[in-house]
Chain A
Amino acid sequence: MAMTTPLQVTTGRLSVPVTDDDHLRGPLAAPVTLLEYGDYQCPYCAEAHTAVRGLLEQRPDTVRFVFRHFPLTNVHQYAELAAETVEAAACRDRFWQMHDWLFEHQKQFNPGYVRVASEQLGLPPDAIDREVNEHLYLDRIQRDFAGGIRSGVNGTPTFYVNDVRQDGGYTLPELIAAVDAAVG
């Protein structure tokens, strides 16, 4: 049957609003929200991590940053494991410490490093290792992933500024420009 009415399709818009369940860095009431769907084993995400830190330093009152999981499990063997590790840390209020640690130790990370990371951050290595192996946090990670697909995530990292996908680059100057443009 021929279509009589064209389908109404919009793309590249954040489909899952930011809530209290999200991992958020920066002032709650900041006028601009920069949201990243990322993967701890993606080298481009590691580069972007440095740029995002720089952005938060240079625009401390303007921007808040949200990170969601988008592990590319078919190309990054330990991406899901890393995401599970950071969620175990999040349950102990150490999400951002583990987030930073994972990007800073990206090249070394493997299953043995779940314990190493936990010890270095003063977290209980046995408990974290067990929770990761029992996939206690996998549902949440898969929820993030599914929401990312629905939002038009097109690789890692994918950034949104106030719910709109950024198809440009993510160097520090580019992120600053995107945030400043959103403030108006």
Chain B
Amino acid sequence: MTTNSTGADMPGPGQPAPGFRLGGSGEDLPGAEDRISLDSLRGAPAILAFYPADWSPVCGDQMSLYQLVWPEFARYQAALLGVSVDGVWCHRAFADSRGIRYPLLSDFEPKGEVSRAYGVYDPVAGTSRRALFLIDDEGVVAWNHLSPDEVNPGADGILSALEQLHGKRQLVG
């Protein structure tokens, strides 16, 4: 049996990214019933950032940091999506308090279903692990990265992977 402690179950480069359709917080999800699906993101790269929980007690936690880096990701026309098992209202309160405007998706019901599909669910803690996926224009995983739960991976890996994915394609802006 494989475990996901080494990320062995994570879809890797060249493999199709598992589909999802989730609600949450953010400018693109104005109503509690609104959803974002992976299919709707086709045609541009997408960054999926799984993380254990809202409200981690540090300054500049991973999701707040990504709000500040969002303009850099946007130069590659990349969509940025945070994912945790927190509920929609929790995400909204957290996003409001940190000024996070990109979507935080709620992998809440069935709990952790999308995190499990990506091989990054921790069944002991009952939360998503800290993992990054870069998905290309056609819904294929281009890069992934699993961090120890206590180590915020920052944004340098994502930017480097985005740069390589785009190669010499002209940047926007």
Contact = CB atoms under 8 A, between A and B. Distances in A.
B152 A155 contact: yes
Contacts of A120: none
B60 A7 contact: no
Contacts of A183: none
B142 A3 contact: yes
A181 interface: no
A73 interface: yes
Contacts, number: 109
Interface stretch (B18-26, B63-71, B105-113, B115-123): B63-71
A7 B153 contact: no
B125 interface: no
Interface size class of A (residues with CB under 8 A): 35 or more
A75 interface: yes
Contacts of A15: 156
Contact of A44 (B14, B58, B98, B151): B58
Interface stretch (A53-61, A85-93, A101-109, A146-154): A146-154
B13 A6 contact: yes
B60 A11 contact: no
A143 B151 CA distance: 25
B59 A75 contact: yes
Given A11-B157, A44-B58, A155-B60, A74 B14 contact: no
Interface in A8-59: 8-13, 15, 39, 42-45
B161 A155 contact: no
Interface in A76-91: 76
B136 A152 contact: no
Contacts of A12: 154, 156
Contacts of B140: 1-3
Nearest to B62: A154
B155 interface: yes
A172 interface: no
B50 interface: no
Contact of B159 (A3, A6, A145, A150): A150
A4 B142 CA distance: 10
Given A1-B140, A7-B142, 4 more contacts: A11-B156, A43-B59, A72-B64, A74-B64
11 contacts: A3-B13, A6-B13, A7-B164, A7-B165, A9-B164, A44-B58, A44-B59, A72-B65, A75-B64, A149-B154, A154-B153
